[in-house]
Chains A and B, each alone.
Chain A
């Protein structure tokens, strides 16, 4: 059982506070979806967990299996098994996907076997309906938005993380690709039972990746949590109404 605990963190970037006293615990086998209007700190949360040096934790702690990881470097967190499927995956000219993936896998596993890598790669490329030549091209070089997102999922399968964060993995995907990506994530989930943190704007992704918990973020914190039905409620009523209700409840409690 792996546990990622975010304990009352406050995060700032360029002197602006983005996350305020934010807490969330995610365990193996759980799927958490974070939803919320633009600019509320959803992507910041995933980057902070991954260790992006642009974001500074001024208070609180992030622990992975009770080990504080606040000061770990990005690659050290990745080697613990934390993975971030990015909202806008970088295009890196000249660095082939093959070189990149080999280096990443070798860095995590000294007993890396090229044959098994190629076999698994071919199988995932087929399942994700990706172009076989992509492996020889530069990372995301000339890839469409959808291909980039599939490339993130491909990397997830190969790296086998224990915590999977997917930041708007549904954006840029057409309906068919959304289904492929959604099913692919669920296939990984069924096999490896990772902890999953999804950031999304739309209920449509949750038709394929079924969350145990849905959280609504606003102004750097979670304002409401619930089960999958909350996502449907958001789609129907919008964030404002839910935020209103939540604020009233909080005021009544006070």
Chain B
């Protein structure tokens, strides 16, 4: 599998075939920009770790008729990351992301530029401090699809903020805009989800869901009615919540779960 390893703001290793080109340079304000172009169907893993304040800007282009599975795993450190995705006609980008970091701010902008472009995005994060995610999806062509899932578990001094916005301009028909956001908050800290749908076209299917709270009482009752303690029931629910949908990162997520919910 294609792989890029980033430590702090530098690419320290890459293993890529001819489906991917990567360039990296500092811009005029000394911010590192990483440009990735995907030209053939492929999988790409990006592993991050950081022991300082890491700032990076990504520009990711998906060529027409190409499907890319992008796996991201962030560990440790403080991050401030910007992502701009450009999806051409008939391209599909599937993103699976797990974050287990100290602090993080992410700004993600998805540009669905070509007809039938599709993005599926899944984030699983465990927040111990401040985490802020701003996602914007621009449906710049007809028949484009966005499915965004943001799942966070808030522990210790954690605080999570998801702002998720979908834009469909007038004339961009038959788009599907879907976002599901959920935070299991195991603290008394305030978390926020701001789902926004800016739709100027009638011929659109748009859905959003937002849920912040402790574990569901009925689910807890069901598990406890089988002899499982409150703590064990909570651990099972969180484990299920974090592992669901993460086929490629089961081992990594299991390690993280072991760390916090032994």
Contacts and interface: CB of A to CB of B under 8 A. Distances in A.
Contacts of A107: 227-229, 232
Interface string B112-135: 000000000000000000000000
A163 to B, nearest CB: 12
A104 B227 contact: yes
Given A78-B227, A159-B226, A103 B232 contact: yes
Interface in A142-164: 155, 159
Contacts of B222: 86, 89-90, 92, 139
Interface in B215-261: 217-219, 221-230, 232-233, 236-237, 239-244
- At the interface, is chain B mostly helix, strand, loop or mixed? helix
A159 B236 contact: no
B236 A99 contact: yes
Interface residues of B, number: 23
A84 B218 CA distance: 14
A93 B55 CA distance: 35
A75 B239 contact: no
A94 B153 CA distance: 14
B218 A94 contact: no
B241 A93 contact: yes
B240 A95 contact: yes
A84 B236 contact: no
Interface in A96-148: 96, 99-100, 103-104, 107-108, 138-139
A22 B240 CA distance: 39
A53 B232 CA distance: 18
A50 B227 contact: no
Interface residues of A, number: 29
Nearest to A88: B218
A88 to B, nearest CB: 9
Contact of A99 (B225, B239, B242): B239
Interface in A28-44: none
Contacts of B241: 93-94
B228 A84 contact: no
Contact of B221 (A52, A95, A139): A52
B226 A78 contact: yes
Contacts of B227: 75, 78-79, 104, 107-108, 159
B226 to A, nearest CB: 4
A73 interface: yes
A75 B240 contact: no
Nearest to B229: A75
B219 A90 contact: yes
Contacts of A242: none
A74 interface: yes
Interface string B175-200: 00000000000000000000000000
Given A52-B221, A92-B237, A94-B239, A100 B244 contact: no
Contact of B225 (A50, A54, A94, A103): A50
Contacts of A73: 224, 230
Given A73-B230, A99-B239, 18 more contacts: A74-B221, A75-B224, A75-B233, A78-B224, A78-B225, A79-B227, A90-B218, A90-B222, A92-B223, A92-B240, A93-B244, A95-B223, A103-B228, A103-B232, A104-B223, A104-B227, A107-B232, A159-B226
Interface of A: 50, 52-54, 73-75, 78-79, 83-84, 86, 89-90, 92-96, 99-100, 103-104, 107-108, 138-139, 155, 159
28 contacts: A52-B221, A54-B217, A73-B224, A73-B230, A74-B224, A75-B224, A75-B225, A75-B226, A78-B224, A78-B225, A78-B228, A83-B226, A84-B225, A86-B222, A90-B222, A92-B219, A92-B236, A92-B237, A93-B241, A94-B239, A94-B240, A94-B244, A95-B239, A99-B236, A99-B239, A100-B226, A107-B227, A138-B240
Which 7 A-B residue pairings sit nearest by Cβ, starting from the closest?
A: A94-B240, A94-B244, A95-B240, A78-B227, A74-B224, A104-B226, A90-B222
